Amino acid sequence: MIKCVSCGKELELQENQNYIFCPKCGTKNIVDETNLLTNNNNQDTSEELSKNTDSINVKRKTDESSKNAIKVGILAFLLKYLRFIIAGLFLIITIPIWLHYAFNGPKTDNTEKVQVISASDTTKNTETTKESGDTDKVNTTKTEPVNTTSDNNEPKIKVKVFVEVEKNLLFSKYDVDLYFNGKKAGTIKHGTSSNFEFDVYGGTYGISFKNVNDESVYHSVSLKIDSNTDVFYRIKCESNKVTATPYKYDIQRDLKENEVRIDFSKNDLISTDISSVVSKLKQKGFTRIYEVDEKDLEYTSSYNYHKVISVTINSSDTYASGSIFKKDDIIIVKYHEVKQKTEQTTPVTTSETTSQSETTTSSSGHRIYYHSSFDRDIAKQGNSGIYSYRSRGGSYYIYYIVDFDHGYVYRFRNDEDTGMAAKIVSGDLNSYVLLRYKDSSGTWENAVHFKYKNLPDTLILQDDDGFETTFYETDLSEAVKIYKTKTVYDYSPK
């Protein structure tokens, strides 16, 4: 059997037949071994191709069936758990909203007065906002200046207000409107910073920071302006209040004779030892500092013992670095103290020279003095009267009383029953006061002096090994009370 070379029709050969005509197309087909082999191979190939085609078709059908099965499985899974998916999405959307309103207490009005020599009124409102993918856009609105205390002929003062709104992660992520003297100056986007510039006349004006979605939630401050001023605020957004905290003032004028410019805020003073805070205030030049002990602790070993609770200047704690005050402005320093002190009656074996200083309490009842003269000008001479200092050593205090009136220096601790005394050999506190001690082991010398010349607030003790310890001024009457509970031994050489 062979195939026609022209049309492919199968032709049946007779035995010993050398050629054959195709009955379909009439082509003569010569028969030889090559022809027979070629036709046989073509027949085998055709059969194999037919088998492979069938295999491919079966595989395709199998793949399609698998894909259909997967699609059906996914669809069945979604239908089965659809209610859970919908419920989860609902909770994700509604829980933050519910928590916001659940913790949204009554709205409060936080209005404070800032004790700063600086102020304002609206003449030019400059708002700076930044949008995604855009450059800064500055919108300037001109308004007539409002002035109730000055002539319009008075030169205007430039006030710049820099505002930073702290970014919240989840809740209370609202923008803040700034109102200057009752007029809206602009909006600060949540988590961003903006600055505003105003031309004003001298006087006192108000700034309000309001929740852009609820104007009943706001914080107002007032500024007294008498020169070009830059003021910096940090804003904290909460559900029921806005808190505006000043952290820097740049008041661009020289100080007057009775003024001081501070370089700290209330956060720099709180939780600091009372003696170092008072010393810092006095070094700035303040003269009316009142210490108030709260007597809220059970033990002197408490971490908060003698730590400052609050410091107010003219009844305000909204001051910041750069604020200007008068030297005689009233400062109240509140600090932690034990509820009651138990005093012993151990007799004093040395001179009772310090008993006279028990009267060193001001008429207001607040202990403020560390020198028996109550006069800083006398105290800074460092050569007369009685001084008192202390330094913290772990859970206890070490006290030094320098008594020029009777020529002795006393050292004792508040947690021990005994103390030491030594005669003053020579010197004054602006150079050094030499002390000489003697016991069974031998003789040694120490020296005490002011840390800075003519500044009696801080005392330095230098021992015979050259080590120095810093002591800070403390209330003399309180130190004397503790001294009188001790048995004090005289270590002066005989």
By C-alpha distance, which of 276, 270, 268, 269 is closest to 390?
Answer: 276
| Boundaries of every domain in the chain | 109-253, 266-335, 353-490
Residue 25 has what pLDDT? 83
Q: pLDDT confidence of 100, banded at 50, 70, 90?
A: low
User: Once rounded to an integer, what is the mean pLDDT over residues 306-327?
Assistant: 88
Q: pLDDT confidence of 409, banded at 50, 70, 90?
A: very high
- C-alpha triplet 199, 205, 209: angle, nearest 5°: 95
Q: pLDDT confidence of 397, banded at 50, 70, 90?
A: very high
Q: pLDDT confidence of 435, banded at 50, 70, 90?
A: very high
- Tell me which fold the domain 266-335 belongs to: Trypsin Inhibitor V; Chain A (3.30.10)
> Are 139 and 162 spatial neighbours (Cβ–Cβ below 8 Å)?
no
Question: 406: left (phi > 0), else alpha (psi -120 to 50), else beta?
Answer: alpha
Residue 236 has what pLDDT? 92
Residue 436 has what pLDDT? 92
User: Once rounded to an integer, what is the mean pLDDT over residues 409-416?
Assistant: 93
pLDDT at 130 over 60: no
Residue 473 has what pLDDT? 87
Torsion of CA 196, 200, 206, 208, to 10 degrees: -20
User: Once rounded to an integer, what is the mean pLDDT over residues 346-369?
Assistant: 37
> Are 344 and 311 spatial neighbours (Cβ–Cβ below 8 Å)?
no
User: Once rounded to an integer, what is the mean pLDDT over residues 223-252?
Assistant: 89
Q: pLDDT confidence of 47, banded at 50, 70, 90?
A: low
Residue 355 has what pLDDT? 36
Torsion of CA 331, 334, 335, 337, to 10 degrees: 130
Q: What single-letter DSSP state applies at residue 266?
A: G
User: Once rounded to an integer, what is the mean pLDDT over residues 387-405?
Assistant: 90
> Are 193 and 164 spatial neighbours (Cβ–Cβ below 8 Å)?
yes
Residue 433 has what pLDDT? 94
In percent, how much of the chain has pLDDT > 90? Answer: 29
Which residue is associated with the tokens 């605020």? 233
Q: Which residues contact 146 (CB under 8 A, 6 or more apart)?
A: 121, 122, 181
pLDDT at 303 over 90: no
C-alpha distances (whole Å) from 395 to each of 187, 301, 303, 392 are 51, 5, 8, 7
Q: pLDDT confidence of 152, banded at 50, 70, 90?
A: low
Mean per-residue pLDDT over the chain, rounded: 77
Distance of CA 286 to the CA centre of its chain: 28
Residue 35 has what pLDDT? 53
Q: pLDDT confidence of 359, banded at 50, 70, 90?
A: very low
Residue 431 has what pLDDT? 92
Residue 188 has what pLDDT? 94
Q: Which residues contact 471 (CB under 8 A, 6 or more apart)?
A: 389, 390, 391, 398, 400, 458, 459, 460, 461
Residue 427 has what pLDDT? 93
DSSP strands (E only) in 130-192: 137-142, 157-165, 176-180, 183-188
Q: pLDDT confidence of 186, banded at 50, 70, 90?
A: very high
Structure tokens at 129: 């906002």
- Considering 47-61, 203-217, 346-360, the range whose residues carry the highest mean pLDDT is 203-217
Q: pLDDT confidence of 187, banded at 50, 70, 90?
A: very high
More confident call, 463 vs 400? 400
pLDDT tens-digit readout, 467-492: 889 999 888 888 999 999 999 999 99
pLDDT at 57 over 70: no
282: phi then psi, degrees, rounded to nearest 5: -70, -35
Quote the CA–CA distance of 282 and 371 in Å, as a whole number: 14
By C-alpha distance, which of 157, 51, 110, 89 is closest to 318?
Answer: 110
Q: Which helix (H) or strand (E) holds 264?
A: none
- Tell me which fold the domain 109-253 belongs to: Immunoglobulin-like (2.60.40)
